[in-house]
Amino acid sequence: MPVWLKNARFYEIYPQSFYDTNGDGIGDFDGIIAKLDYIKQLGFNALWINPCFLSPFMDAGYDVQDYYKVAPRYGTNEDLYRLFDQAHSRGIRVILDLVPGHTSDQCEWFKQSKLPYRNEYSDRYIWSSNAWDRPAGYSWVAGNADRDGCYMLNFFLSQPALNYGFNKITHPEWQISYTDPRVAGTLQAMMDVMRFWLDHGADGFRVDMADSLVKNDDDKSATASLWRKVRAMLDKDYPQTVIVSEWCNAPRSINQAGFHCDFLLDHWTKMVHKAFRNVNEQGVNKSYFCKTAHVSAADMLGDYLVELQQTRGNGYISVISGNHDTDRIARYLDESELRLAYTFLFTLPGVPFFYYGDEIGMRYLPQHSKEGGFQRTGSRTPMQWDSALPNMGFSSAPQDKLYLDVDRSADAPNVADQAADGNSLLNFVRQLNVLRSGCEDLQADAELAVMYCSDDGVLCYRRGNSVAVAFNPTDAERTLPYAADDVLFQTGKATVTGLQTVLAPQTAVVFTLK
């Protein structure tokens, strides 16, 4: 386990929308470099950068054309190497987004695979036996190649699925076992990509749809076996490199596949959804941190506690404030509620991931789809740096040239205003980073034990040996049957009366245990 993960706090950057330095309306590597001091001052010591490789951008860069070359819109390979160096000089690690399940249909690998004669890429993608054969249960493209066959898609039309083989063989005329040497080159090619970027300074990878490699793999055991090979290579040659999975099943990802971290995603059964974004079919917000929800913390925690126990000592569950695929958290929680939600995020075990702009409460902005974003587009708008500058300080480009437009509301949150306000949400996030970084009992591998969990919303858990965290997210006063002495941090108001603590509405308190 890389030792630096224990106290890592990640900041996710969607590079198109972070900071534009050349006036073309799109964020770039120089923009990230220019804001590294801001990120460090905010208290984050690790970055996750969404896909930045050459791409036709039919899916915002998740359709990779060349894994070895960065997209010119962001700069050059040398600019990314410089970003690694500049981040490292500030004590900030950088992981890249790896998309192993598919490529763009413009990828040279795929162009070779489409040819009507055998070559080293013929089995790099999944093809049916002939142009008329489109077996049910899969997504196919027919008639778009000279090769006699249809090719399988993972998501969009432009994303042919890479071939890691099949676990259960149902069509032997075209399916290849995942153990067959004919598909071994796909995994080797992806490990070569990883080696290239690690050798140039990357600190690891967040792996897109990590559970989707081997097809007909219901229990994901075959896919896990491939990732164990990757982990063995990293442990041997790059022992401080991290791999973080988009799997949302920590026992499988961590225990079986060997990932260091696994994301909890906004799936309706998972804690991240129930805590932050649980709006029912009638439009009523039942999120735990919504002040009027008055829901039990036990239901919110759900199977998180089970998975936490199952993976303890093997890896970390990563709770996210949001990401490029998820509605902005501020769409569901107001600022007072966000303060409690962020306290929760930064005081849980595992490695927290924080989405750019959530520190100022950036809003979800519904708009037309951009680069395959569809409903996700509203969470990908440009960072709002300064209301006194054009385009909120994101870019000097004309408004109609921006990647996406900024929030132009009169009260749009921005960094400049909040940095100058000691009581702002931005400075609250900074304080949480300071709290976590300076308290070993709040870091990734310190144990969590629930001390109190009531039906009226009150939650209290112990971290490590001597720290406890209590929440009253409701709009009514609640009582905790513990004395919250030696307060380390609080939002709202906690008042100790004898052996109890009265928690004012919307209060979170971090305290030491006697």
Q: Are 261 and 250 in contact (CB under 8 A)?
A: no
In this predicted structure, the answer to whether residue 133 has a pLDDT above a threshold of 80 is: yes
Instruction: Determine the average pLDDT of the residues in 375-382.
Output: 98
Burial class of residue 142 in the structure, from the number of CB atoms within 10 Å of its CB (0-12 exposed, 13-18 middle, 19+ buried): middle
pLDDT at 318: 98
pLDDT band at 500 (very low <50, low <70, confident <90, very high): very high
Instruction: Determine the average pLDDT of the residues in 32-53.
Output: 98
pLDDT at 514: 75
Distance from C-alpha of 338 to C-alpha of 321, rounded to nearest angstrom: 10
pLDDT at 273: 97
pLDDT at 475: 97
Give residue limits of the domains in the chain.
Answer: 3-100+183-440, 102-163, 448-512
Instruction: Determine the average pLDDT of the residues in 24-50.
Output: 98
pLDDT at 290: 98
448-512: what fold? Immunoglobulin-like (2.60.40)
Q: Which pLDDT tens digit goes with each residue over 322-343?
A: 999 999 999 999 999 999 999 9
Which amino acid makes up residue 38?
A: Y
Q: Which pLDDT tens digit goes with each residue over 171-221?
A: 999 999 999 999 999 999 999 999 999 999 999 999 999 999 999 999 999
In this predicted structure, the answer to whether residue 100 has a pLDDT above a threshold of 90 is: yes
Burial 8-37 (b: 16+ CB within 10 A, else e): bbbbbbbbbbbbbbeeebbbbbbbbbebbe
The CA radius of gyration of the chain, in Å to the nearest whole number, is 24
In this predicted structure, the answer to whether residue 25 has a pLDDT above a threshold of 90 is: yes
pLDDT at 485: 85
> Which distant-in-sequence residues (6+ apart) come within 8 Å of 466 by Cβ?
441, 512, 513
Instruction: Determine the average pLDDT of the residues in 463-468.
Output: 96
3-state class percentages of the chain: helix first, strand second, coil last, to nearest 5: 30, 20, 50
What is the pTM for the complete model shown? 0.97
Nearest to 206 by CA among 273, 251, 261: 261
DSSP codes of every residue in 232-248:
HHHHHH-TT-EEEE--S
Out of 3.30.70.330, 3.40.50.720, 3.30.830.10, 3.20.20.80, select the CATH number for domain 3-100+183-440: 3.20.20.80
Instruction: Determine the average pLDDT of the residues in 107-117.
Output: 98
Nearest to 259 by CA among 239, 287, 230: 230
- Residue 173 has a CB neighbour count (10 Å cut-off) of 9
102-163: what fold? Oligo-1,6-glucosidase; domain 2 (3.90.400)
In this predicted structure, the answer to whether residue 241 has a pLDDT above a threshold of 90 is: yes
67 φ, ψ to 5°? -70, -15
pLDDT at 28: 98
Mutual orientation of helices 221-237 and 181-199 as an angle, nearest 10°? 40
Instruction: Determine the average pLDDT of the residues in 341-369.
Output: 98
pLDDT at 201: 98
The pair of structure tokens assigned to 313 is: 């000592």
> Which distant-in-sequence residues (6+ apart) come within 8 Å of 192 by Cβ?
none
Average pLDDT along the chain: 97
